[in-house]
Amino acid sequence: MKKITAERGGVLRCKGWRQEALLRMLENVLENGENQKELIVYASLGKAARNWPSYLAIVDTLKQLEEDETLVIQSGKPIGVFKTHRQAPLVVMANCNLVGRWATSENFYDLQDKGLIIWGGLTAAAWQYIGSQGVIQGTYEIFQSIARIHFGGNLRGRFILTAGLGGMGGAQPLAGYMANAAILCVEVAEERIDKRMAAGYLQRKTDSLDEALLWIDEAVSNGKSLSVGLLGNAADVYPELLRRGVQPDIVTDQTSAHDLLYGYIPSGYSPESAGVARREHPTKLQAAAGASIANEVKAMLEFKKRGAVVFDNGNNIRSQAVQYGVTNAFEIDIFTEAFLRPLFARAIGPFRWIALSGEAEDIRIIDDYILKEFSDNDIVSNWIKLANTYVPFEGLPARIGWFGHKDRSKLALAVNQLVREGKLAGPVAFSRDHLDAAAMAHPNIMTERMKDGSDAISDWPLLNAMLNCSSMADLVAIHSGGGGYSGYMTSAGVTIVADGSEESDTRLRTALDNDTGLGVLRYADAGYEQSLAEVRTKGIARIDTHRYETISSTVK
């Protein structure tokens, strides 16, 4: 089969731009994905569709879909088309949701093998992945936050140790470079290192630890930014660095440690031999992966003890380590709670826009608008300047920017106006990561140690998805964890298309403001001061039940 790439240009294959946009987004996740043959986009198992017949059926259906119809998708398989109305979403989907008690990795793999379910990652099955650039600002903001808290505001002359150069982890070397650090990324698969070098995300590669350390030492001494990919296994390299007395300033890991069967490659295995072991003795492979993770996490804890800033970057590595005997793994901080929560509490999070025309110039025009209109927003203007200089486009040209409540809709409405006036080559799709204020419950990532203890309550992403449907978004998705994430998370995704129409104005304003509005209220409900301030300054209609406490005591 011919390699799938996203359609570019102004010719529609569907009955309207909204449908065409979603089709291009689907093609785009595959264009940017890690293993197109298997429909795998990232995180080892995150798929764009159930299987090839489902993919082809989705493509055909989107081409036929009327403006007043809704396509229903269950775990990457199209189920039916329903007559709804022009303000309804064109696509709704639920991917990999298992009933609580049954949400285990074993059940997931069993149902997956029967062809009944897939794990959609967050943005894979919801057709929102835009390549490694999708997480790059998040990774950069983490490094910046560490710089502010621990290193006097700058990582120049600092050494970051990490692992994993996959679909998401591939953003780490460039984010580290942009934050002025010297970053060493351990990766077990050479083709992943090569892919990041070809994409311009990674500068140097070697299979020699000695050479890697020489380069890093030199960069640290001269205060130079540098990214190095080291071919090796993190479970071997981290303890070896300790043995040699090498002490990084910052340590993390973004291998696919969440999945012991399909993700993390144990010490002594290559990706190929792990593939064979997966078929021939899966239980032994999982045990080996668990043991290797335990060794790596023990090393991370020791780095912490020796003074490094050590954090979990959202791959469940601590939970796996606990299962394999490292009872104190949770002494390692989670990045959200340690570094990003003040932003999420104001619903500032990873917002994205994709130029459906395929023209990079459209993104540059939007960059210029942002630099002019958001010049007082330091996070955004600093990032857009950096992204413009350093971040190469992958697939359809796209940009990420950490915008919050009202700012997202201000940007989207301005872009819709540019589309309407013919100043852009085509419509633009707006989306965001599921790791967003209202959109994710994950007690070991997004909602760890919430102020009110509401970590495991998954009402919020469900409410978020329902509200986005009511708010006329074009695509709404509800996901839960699969594979190693089974039982760990629930999240919601949303996409809205700026096609230049006045209807789009209404959709963008309503869906984007309600999406972030609920995000602010979720954190306000948990008692975060920043959220309560945002409620007041931005006039979000919060119902304050505390006001009714005195009255209710008289009712009783």
Contacts to ligand NAD by CB under 6 A:
34, 42-44, 135, 138, 163-169, 186-189, 192, 233-235, 254-258, 263-265, 271, 313-315, 435
Which residue lies nearer to ligand NAD by CB, 145 or 501?
145
Pairing type for strands 349-355 and 226-231 reads unpaired
Which residue lies nearer to ligand NAD by CB, 259 or 513?
259
- Specify whether the CB–CB gap between 395 and 30 falls below 8 A: no
Q: How far is the CB of 514 from ligand NAD (least distance, A)?
A: 23
Is 141 labeled as ligand-binding?
no
Alpha-carbon dihedral sign for residues 405, 409, 412, 415: negative
Which residue lies nearer to ligand NAD by CB, 249 or 312?
312
Q: How far is the CB of 251 from ligand NAD (least distance, A)?
A: 14
Is 7 labeled as ligand-binding?
no
Which residue lies nearer to ligand NAD by CB, 89 or 170?
170
Q: Report helix, strand or coil for 425.
A: coil
Q: How far is the CB of 168 from ligand NAD (least distance, A)?
A: 4
Q: Report helix, strand or coil for 220.
A: helix
Pairwise CA distance, residues 120 & 142, whole Å: 25
Pairwise CA distance, residues 388 & 399, whole Å: 9
Q: How far is the CB of 83 from ligand NAD (least distance, A)?
A: 36
Q: How far is the CB of 537 from ligand NAD (least distance, A)?
A: 28
Is 256 labeled as ligand-binding?
yes
Q: How far is the CB of 344 from ligand NAD (least distance, A)?
A: 12
Q: How many CA atoms lie within 13 A of 290 on its CB side?
A: 15
Query: Looking at the chain, how many residues does it have?
Result: 556
List, in sequence order, every residue forming a beta bridge with 402; answer none if it has no partner: 350
Q: How far is the CB of 128 from ligand NAD (least distance, A)?
A: 12
Which residue lies nearer to ligand NAD by CB, 34 or 513?
34
Residue 544 CA to chain centroid, in angstroms? 32
Pairwise CA distance, residues 421 & 211, whole Å: 55
Is 187 labeled as ligand-binding?
yes
Is 32 labeled as ligand-binding?
no
Is 168 labeled as ligand-binding?
yes
In the numeric block, which tokens belong to residue 104? 């285990």
**What DSSP string describes 428-457?**
EEEEE-SSSTTTEE-TTTTTTT-TTS-TT-
Which residue lies nearer to ligand NAD by CB, 314 or 443?
314
Is 258 labeled as ligand-binding?
yes
Is 336 labeled as ligand-binding?
no
Pairwise CA distance, residues 226 & 219, whole Å: 6
List b or e across 28-56, with b for residues whose CB sees 16 or more CB atoms inside 10 angstroms. bbbbbbbebeebbbbbbbbbbbbeeebbe
In the numeric block, which tokens belong to residue 92? 């709704």
Which residue lies nearer to ligand NAD by CB, 38 or 529?
38
Which residue lies nearer to ligand NAD by CB, 213 or 508?
213
Pairwise CA distance, residues 244 & 209, whole Å: 11
**Minimal CB distance residue for ligand NAD:** 166
Is 153 labeled as ligand-binding?
no
Is 278 labeled as ligand-binding?
no
CA-nearest of 348, 335, 475 to 400 is 348
Q: How far is the CB of 235 from ligand NAD (least distance, A)?
A: 5
In the numeric block, which tokens belong to residue 184? 């060493």
Which residues are part of a known binding site for NAD(+)?
167-169, 187, 192, 233-234, 254-258, 264-265, 483
- Binding-site residues sit at 167-169, 187, 192, 233-234, 254-258, 264-265, 483
